[in-house]
Chain A
């Protein structure tokens, strides 16, 4: 089963920390891939928070096509980060021509437009790039969004981290999602690698999503062009998050009520039982049927973990004030945040949704059953 490691910190840190945590959970992933999403960037991107960053992989041909395309769209390159590729003998990674992390200036036409217009443009542009590069595999575009970088590659996570030179020249960030992939039923494909990103929201998941096909079909019919891809059955979790938050505008805690609705008699304990009943019916197609542990990040940088009732071994959330980890295994957390008070660890159970806001001062646990929130102050 895939291994998940999210870290939220008050200070910038290197994504290598996530990778080393994944290394401790090694028996769970088979080295078939590493996916990283970095948010709230520091280092050379610290002063570029408003500029959208394109994260992509391309062949040489794709690289030039992409350049031309971006110019034709009116995007001007602002800054470019290049990984210091370190392909040591013995590494099983297949090096690709270009790893692109590039910040752009908005085209003049949209510069002064409201954020919604910019957001749409960024998404549509990413989809166009994806479509452009898909037939011949010349470009893979993972995210195109301000203050977000995505890195993905097939191979053992530690090797991939070193390959990208993250141990020597990392991009520091305050939120980093990392997933060590356990390739299961679908072919190894870069687009199938978690975390998945859509318009400022991202998720990574482990476990099998048995309700994948109906969920995918439902999302595909919502009229959102970005609900596509689905090379992995876990991609739908990101899109559901987007649908619930961006499309329906529901508060974040309802994500849990959508993907794992309460049984009808259980709802009665919630003040908004009537609303929940309607939600459950209308969003029935988005009910997941796990077992899944989902770690996600909302647009505002709130990171959360939820799982369904069938997830027999829950993930863990814990840390110290200013640094919290959300992981699929405890050993990963111990590696990433040493010296934490384990009494404050949270193992979200079937009704819990654990949330960590930017700054990582505390862990909030929303109880789906009674609607209460417990806050754990970290020392």
Chain B
């Protein structure tokens, strides 16, 4: 068993809360025969007796293994129960019961330190020019999502002593956004409360805090009311191979009050490269079925690829053009791919496509609501070198400012959201996406790289984050989620400034400022073309 449940007979009052709350049925009321020492007479006369007592028992069936979520501990009024990680467990050898490979949600189970966390910011302005004051200087921590024209192609002409627009009608749409985005997590994968909380948080950040944070819908559309709301501009609509939710979106287009922030075409996901989206039947309740335009309670598996497209030119170029046309070329359209050695091929293709607005690369440490364990653990490419390679390739062809790169997958894996994002930016990303980080920070997701919890696919999320069961998602207060989303981004904004200030960067995001980074691993330094420091 990966987790052993420690139950304390003496403290337990047999209230039964733990057994009723356990999301996987790992514990149940049980009876034990117990040897007790008793003395009941007027003078002490200890005798041993055997009694049958009721208590809490861990189930030994691997299918009901304890996942270590500690919800039992959370509800226990007497601190009588807790799970304990068993480093000697043999779970992986037995997970394939019934001939079915192990499926789960969550992340890659690798508790090691990621490359992003190895990177240090080592270029500090000191004597020649004093470092900036993060609290007092003016900072511009913004990035562009969308294609920037090369300066030679700007539709400008000189009139007298001034530059004026020459009237060319098409200028690729560009959004100015905060460089950390919330990556695609779908309605359906997430509970209504979780989704609502994220949306409220994002709207508040934009409207009140004036921090232009955008969030991607993931594959699965959006509630129709939100589609027709003025808040749509804070959302990136994702289209993936199942096209779930797009019937609803297309029908809403005439009634939209504003354009969405962008369209993301998902070709791949870092957590499970080569796999399409997967929403287990248990989560396809009525409202989800409606938004997605499908029957209730069926497994919703998106195909691994966009079935109507064959070659890279078609898959990417045609899809980008058709999605651009939908919004009259006013909305940036870009693909998201999983980190791969072949990212450069996609990149070069995009670099030549004037309608491609960006490229998001999702590294192996990305998260998912449901996938095969083997894909999660073994497939995919780490983000750092993949992103760096793509950026340096853009530098080589001189297009690093034309096609922004966004990096995802493991940003904030160990809790260092801003530092990881800043490192990616300095390696060449225009921005970074987070998903699991925000689930943990805003909703208390329990998952970790020791396969703790990670049962998002079952619809039994003990925190109410990835479930459609009202009994479970009632546990999550959307207002609290929203509040935490705001906290996270306000803090990240400050932390980014704290990182950029000593390096003397305040007017522009230090995209590609690789001289500011160092690492104490020679091989990593060489691969990323940054300096080695120890």
Contact = CB atoms under 8 A, between A and B. Distances in A.
Interface stretch (B12-20, B33-41, B498-506): B498-506
Contact of B163 (A214, A279, A284): A279
Interface in A304-361: 308-310
B148 A284 contact: yes
B contact patch SS: loop
Top 3 A-B pairs ranked by shortest CB distance?
A: A221-B398, A210-B504, A287-B508
Contacts of B162: 251, 271-272, 275, 371
B507 interface: yes
Contacts of A287: 507-508
Interface in A251-297: 251, 253-254, 260-261, 263-264, 271-272, 274-276, 278-279, 281-285, 287-291
B514 interface: yes
A275 B165 contact: yes
Interface stretch (A82-90, A117-125, A242-250): A242-250
A232 to B, nearest CB: 13
Given A221-B396, A275-B165, A210 B148 contact: no
Contacts of B100: none
B140 A263 contact: yes
Interface of B: 123, 125, 128-129, 132, 137-138, 140, 144, 148-152, 154-156, 158, 161-165, 171, 174, 176, 395-401, 503-508, 510-515
A278 B164 CA distance: 11
A310 B162 CA distance: 27
Contacts of B158: 249-251
A184 B128 CA distance: 7
A65 to B, nearest CB: 32
B127 to A, nearest CB: 8
Most chain A beta-carbon neighbours within 10 Å: one of B158, B163, B400, B401 = B163
6 contacts: A212-B515, A261-B507, A275-B162, A278-B171, A285-B401, A289-B504
Contacts of A310: 132, 137, 504, 506
A260 B400 contact: no
A214 B513 contact: yes
Given A208-B128, A278-B156, A213 B512 contact: yes
B400 A274 contact: no
A217 interface: yes
Contacts of A184: 128
A330 to B, nearest CB: 20
Given A279-B151, A310-B132, A284 B176 contact: no
Contact of A274 (B132, B165, B174, B511): B165
Interface in A164-179: none
Given A247-B152, A248-B152, A254 B138 contact: no
Interface in A212-228: 212-214, 217-218, 220-223
A376 to B, nearest CB: 19
Nearest to B143: A284
Contacts of A276: 163
A275 B283 CA distance: 50
A308 B398 contact: no
Interface string A172-199: 0000000000101100000000000000
A211 interface: yes
A208 B513 contact: no
A185 to B, nearest CB: 7
A84 B325 CA distance: 72
A303 B425 CA distance: 36
A291 B129 contact: yes
Contacts of A207: 128-129
A16 B52 CA distance: 106
Contact of B154 (A210, A278, A291): A278
Contacts of A253: 161
A1 interface: yes
A251 B507 contact: no
A209 B132 CA distance: 13
A254 B161 CA distance: 10
Contacts of B176: 264
Nearest to A292: B129
Contact of A282 (B123, B138, B140, B149): B149
Given A208-B128, A284-B401, A214 B154 contact: no
B163 A308 contact: no
A289 B395 CA distance: 20
